[in-house]
Amino acid sequence: MEKEIKKLLKQRNGIILAHNYQLPEIQEIADLCGDSLELSIKASETNADLIVFCGVHFMAETASILSPNKKVLLPVLNAGCPMADMITPEALTNKLESFPPDMPVVTYVNSTASVKALSTICCTSANSIKVVNSLNSSQVLMIPDKNLAQYTAAHTEKKVQLWEGYCPVHNNLSVKMVNKTKEKYPDSIFIAHPECKPDVLDIADAVMSTSGMLNFAKESPHNSFIIGTEIGILYPLQKENPNKQFIPASPDMVCEDMKKIRLKDVLNCLQTLTPEVKVPLEIQSNAIKAVKRMISIKK
């Protein structure tokens, strides 16, 4: 199956992108692995005609936004994101009526293209503080993740209004769960994702994105880490650091949507060139402005 996938990729001039939370078999077959936005950026810089995005729907949309002339395939079309579904363009428009007309909207990349199209600027879990501080406004509305918004608010002087969205996988992690794991592994340091609740972040030794975790683990002198994010990240962490130990903060931190794609799905989409994710031009033209504003300051 892997040989057939590689053969079709070459014929189609395609590349496979895999998010850090994907199953090991998918990460192994991918040309690029990483965070959703960095994957879309890297893919846009290649001469590939076809992108197979092994992730969830909003990620494929972002790839389509940044590579409008490339065909973007999502092997399992119903691989979604509960947090992204917690906000709609209509709900955002209604919410903005209660704020001044110049209220900046900072939108986490974990959102739909249609919501990005109504935004001032996008952000990632790694650059949200820098993005908020770049805006010439005393207050901002951050959507859709309330936990990322609260984390950002704690590190900026600006007033951050939040949306009541969240990632169920991260939001369900409790201090009690973390402490239980820390009792078993007292010599480990705890790294948490900003999508976790504030009280969980308060007991973390470090707070960072998945790519940040990968870099931190390589550079850190520590040998044992408790990881507070979706358990898929444990595979690349262990692969890149075979002599170090990585423990899930909770074994229940599993995103079922991130685990839907199998090799047979990748092969099928390369054979049929479906399902395709294509962002309509009127949405793409507005959404790309918000994404590019972020990219221009992300360094």
Containing structural domain, residue 39: 2-81+258-279
- pLDDT tens sequence across 149-166: 999 999 999 999 999 999
Task: Give the number of domains in the chain.
Answer: 2
In a domain, 148, yes or no: no
For strands 71-73 and 105-108, give the pairing.
Answer: unpaired
Q: How confident is the model at residue 105 (pLDDT cuts 50, 70, 90)?
A: very high
Compute the average pLDDT of residues 129-143. 97
Look at residue 297 in the predicted model and tell me its pLDDT: 85
CB 180 within 8 A of CB 134: no
Tokens 């820098």 belong to residue: 130
- pLDDT tens sequence across 64-103: 999 999 999 999 999 999 999 999 999 999 999 999 999 9
For the chain, give the percent of residues with pLDDT over 70.
99
Which CATH number belongs to the domain containing residue 62 in this structure? 3.40.50.10800
In a domain, 129, yes or no: no
In a domain, 124, yes or no: no
Look at residue 214 in the predicted model and tell me its pLDDT: 97
d(CA 102, CA 120): 10
Question: What pTM did the predictor assign?
Answer: 0.96
